[in-house]
């Protein structure tokens, strides 16, 4: 190979902050490490980048290996390069964040993880939960800030819900993520006026009160609107 660069190189990893919504709470997926360093600690799923895969491929592979998750909304978050962030030596980590609907998902730990589990984000941040390995608490902070920012001007929140959802579920998603209450009538008016939801004939099942109408996010419609200058907002 010509012009090869021969100086020492930092190691390169990816880490994934996977958010999910469960019981009206925002949760994050953690694994219990089965390898040193931080063996037995909880950490974000992630690992080393191979020479023949892109960063995103590495993130997806590690997620699959350590938690069993596949096919999710994934976006690059930030790259963390503090010199001492890994006791094994210089390691730079490209962080991704992902949104999934945990309902009905099977977690399946393997590889370097003893188990994978959902933790309420508030527990970790409030330190009533486990302390995370490496600088993963900091990565979580950055991811949370990004999620809060992004959810307001891009319709990514839908990734956290089932395909079919009620407007109340959607509203409560926003209330959870943004940590503030929204007015029911105004919220509905706003969302319906955007014309990016498909009103289904179906309704909620098995609830002990009037069953709510179900909706689906109309992605292709959204894309078309985008091209003509529409911007989703709150």
Interacting residues toward DNA by CB under 7 A: 166-168, 183-186, 188-190, 203, 207-213, 233
Nearest to 191 by CA among 209, 212, 216: 216
The site partner of 181 among a copy of itself, DNA, none (C-beta below 5 to 8 Å per kind) is none
Cβ within 8 Å of residue 159, ≥6 positions away: 72, 73, 99, 100, 101
- Measure the CA angle with vertex 65, ends 82 and 117; round to 5°: 80
Grouping H, G, I as helix, E, B as strand and the rest as coil, residue 226 is helix
> With respect to a copy of itself, which residue has the nearer C-beta, 180 or 209?
180
The site partner of 184 among a copy of itself, DNA, none (C-beta below 5 to 8 Å per kind) is DNA
* Interacting span for a copy of itself (CB under 8 A) from 3-11, 16-24, 63-71, 156-164: 3-11
What CA–CA distance (Å, rounded) separates 161 from 167? 11
Task: Please say whether the beta carbons of 133 and 179 come within 8 A.
Answer: no
Under rule CB under 8 A, how many of the chain's residues touch a copy of itself? 35
CB of 195 to a copy of itself, least distance (A): 24
DSSP state for residue 212 in the 8-state scheme:
P
The site partner of 190 among a copy of itself, DNA, none (C-beta below 5 to 8 Å per kind) is DNA
Residues found near a copy of itself in the complex (CB under 8 A): 1-5, 7-12, 36-37, 48-56, 76, 78-79, 81-83, 87-92, 94
């Amino acid at each position: 190979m010509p012009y090869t660069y021969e100086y020492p190189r930092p190691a390169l990893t990816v880490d994934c902050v996977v958010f999910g919504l469960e019981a009206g709470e925002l949760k994050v997926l953690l694994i219990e490490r089965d390898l040193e360093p931080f063996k037995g600690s909880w950490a974000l799923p992630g690992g080393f980048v191979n020479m023949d895969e892109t960063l995103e491929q590495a993130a997806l592979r590690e997620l699959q290996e350590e938690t069993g998750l596949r096919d999710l909304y994934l976006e690059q978050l930030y790259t963390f390069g503090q010199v001492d962030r890994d006791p094994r030596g210089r390691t730079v980590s490209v962080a991704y964040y992902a949104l999934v609907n945990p309902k009905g998902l099977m977690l399946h730990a393997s590889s370097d993880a003893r188990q994978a589990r959902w933790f309420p984000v508030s527990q970790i941040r409030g330190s009533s939960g486990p302390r995370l390995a490496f600088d993963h608490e900091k990565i979580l902070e950055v991811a949370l800030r990004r999620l809060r920012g992004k959810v307001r001007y891009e319709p990514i929140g839908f990734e956290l819900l089932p395909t079919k959802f009620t407007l109340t579920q959607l509203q409560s998603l926003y209330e959870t993520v943004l940590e503030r209450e929204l007015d029911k009538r105004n919220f509905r008016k706003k969302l319906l006026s955007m014309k990016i939801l498909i009103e289904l004939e179906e309704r909620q099942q098995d609830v002990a009160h009037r069953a709510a109408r179900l909706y689906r996010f109309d992605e292709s419609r959204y894309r078309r609107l985008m091209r003509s200058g529409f911007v989703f907002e709150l």
